[in-house]
Amino acid sequence: MYTAKFKSKTLPFILLSPTLIILAIFLYYPVIQTFRLSAYRTAFLGMKKHFIGLGNYIELIHSAEYWHTVWVTIVITTLVVVLGMGISLFIALLANKPIKGAPIYHLLLIWPYALSPAVAGVVFLFLFSPGFGPVSYLTAKLTGLSLNWLGDPTLALILIVMASIWKNLGYNIVFYLAGLQNINTEVLEAAEIDGAGAWRKFWSVTFALLSPMTFFLLITNITYSFFDIFGMVDIVTKGGPQDATNVMIYHLYRNGFEYYKTGMAAAESVILFALVVGLTLIQFKTSGKHVHYGG
């Protein structure tokens, strides 16, 4: 195996220095400052700071409002991850069948992912707006039910879940479709010869061989539900009604940019960061051992 060698030991660092400088300025420094700021109670725009140590974290732990946002985040994340990945796998299985014009169908399935969460939010806000939204109008005409998707807490939460699933559907389908197309057909044929039914063949062969892809998508979908859902919530519901869709990332934003509690917002950032890292580590330790590679 050929190994690249540099005549000077400093040359690799010189070549990497532009990237390292950018990372240090725009990633590492803000992260360090966030951890530092979480230990302060700040006045308007951080003009005055008072060191309180773990005070912000203690206040959050005793805040019923904050625990409500944690519960809302857990509910939305669970629904988006489970339903989103399940629907994506089902569509990918259908799209993987040999049909005429398959590339066109694949493109149509993937394109929603190209939209930003804010644009996807505008689309769903238009479709489900009470009174003049096409979905609300057709529902009222066909069923006689006048559903207030933006005013009812349960319906608003369902709307955010539907919009978030739709937005991320293309991303999941791309990976599942790639995984399905790389499954060794001889393994499936062997299962058929052994008398395995359609369900048994899917669960014991196809899904087992897709476990690396499923594991990867599980982590990315959890991260998506914790962070990228912000634009959707901000455009569609503003965290309402009655804080029914006020997820952790949106609560953080409101504390930082509406109420100017930057120290509290920094503490929430640290908690959210630690939570996602913790979930990822747990998944790697518990699920990684059950992942099957190869066909």
Stretch 2-7: mean pLDDT = 64
Stretch 123-143: mean pLDDT = 85
Query: What residues contact 75, with CB distance under 8 A and at least 6 apart?
Result: 157
Please identify, in words, the CATH class of the domain defined by 64-290.
Answer: mainly alpha
pLDDT in tens, 51-97: 888 999 999 999 999 999 999 999 999 999 999 999 999 998 888 88
pLDDT in tens, 183-237: 877 777 787 777 777 788 888 788 888 888 888 898 889 989 988 899 899 999 9
Domains of the chain: which residue ranges? 64-290
| pLDDT at residue 6, rounded to an integer | 65
| pLDDT at residue 11, rounded to an integer | 81
pTM of the model: 0.85
